[in-house]
Amino acid sequence: MTGDENSRTGPLAGVTVVELAGLGPAPFGAMVLADYGADVICVDRPSKASGAPIESARMGVSNRGRRAITVDLKSPEGVQVICRLTDSADVFVEGFRPGVCERLGLGPDDLCDRNPGLVYARMTGWGQTGPWAARAGHDIDYISLAGPLAHIGRADQPPTVPLNLVGDFGGGGLLMALGVCAALVERARSGLGQVIDVAMVDGAALISAPMVPAYLGGTFTDQRGTNMLDSGAPWYDVYETSDGGWLAVGAIEPQFYVELLDGLGLAGADLPDQHDRDGWPVLRDRFAAIIGARTRDDWEATFDGRDACVAPVLTYAEAADHPHLVARGTYLRPDGVVQPAPAPRFSRTPALVDRPPVPPGYDTDEVLAAAGFAADEIAALRATATIA
């Protein structure tokens, strides 16, 4: 992988992002921007600079695509370094609690007054405003308050925590990246940047847009595991196979349901109607007994080429080697590290993984020199521990 910023070909090539290092959603969103070709400069604390070789950071996939520098944000000199970097940047990303950047002297008024075209993205859990804005929280809390968690899980079981995909990465990082792209499009018309208030609680609610009206209209109940898409329907669920694997069944439409029954050897069998809820327990028992008698690979072969909406449930390691995903390049192995490829696919300006994750501070001198800092300025900043 190369580090030549001029060679980047993604749709955001030429866009410069200054990112204050953090955890979870903001780094993930910045990774997406980097995948799309943006030059992302990640700013971490000098104490994080260890001088470790580049190989030590290779597993930090969400840090791919960055140039990494270290700056002491608590010193006036360090704040001025960030101000100078953002003077010529397009995007600024921070994931602190509300008010922290203002106290550092790096709030929107500080940076956007200097650079009116700056898109300033703020990632938090609860948002910049509201009575909960200053509270601590994590993904599980945001999706709890926003509503999704109450509806995820099986019947007569507690809500199931869906990893931290809904709040952190879907409702957080991805929406941040989308918001940045939208603000850049608008800036092309107005010439002005703006502040983006990215709250994971908002994003978790937005992801629920198709479900909320169904719930409020009574077609989607608050009884987990009893609805069509929450494992309530026997033809939209997962079933254990004889080898301890799992098979996912999603045969909603009637033509796919016919193919499912045929593949299971149930064509023409005396069964309850597909949408007869009273008959769902009967269907579930029949499906479970049949699927449980054979291995996952057997069932994958049986349904190969059939439009039955059936797929094996794969681990990440297995998914990386599945023929379909291999053919599409859905997973990559740069430097031997398995990781998802950029998505979606662009026909003319392809997104690339062309810069490996690097340790904090790896590119400090290069970035500052490119931003116009003289060699003696860089030396003076290092002498005062403003950079490392």
Catalytic residues: 138, 168
* SS3 (DSSP) at 373: coil
Owner of token pair 């992002």: 17
How far CA 262 is from CA of 117, 216, 293, in Å, comes to: 60, 37, 16
21 within 8 A of 93, measured Cβ to Cβ: no
Query: By three-state DSSP, how is residue 363 classified?
Result: coil
Q: Which amino acid is at 361?
A: G
DSSP assignment, residue 50? -
Pick from 362, 373, 388: which is nearest to 56 by CA?
A: 362
Closest CA to 65 of 92, 33, 18: 33
* Helix (H), strand (E) at residue 225: none
- Rounded Cα distance between 231 and 228, Å, is 7
Instruction: Using DSSP, state whether 68 is helix, strand or coil.
Output: strand
Residue 6 has, within 13 A of its CA and on its CB side, a CA count of 1
92 beta partners: 18, 120
308 contacts 256 by C-beta, under 8 angstroms = yes
Scored b (16 or more CB within 10 A) or e, 130-142 reads eebbeeebebbbb
- Measured between alpha carbons, how far is 77 from 85 in angstroms, rounded to an integer? 13
Q: How many CB atoms lie within 10 A of CB 189?
A: 7
Q: At 81, which helix (H) or strand (E)? A: helix 76-87
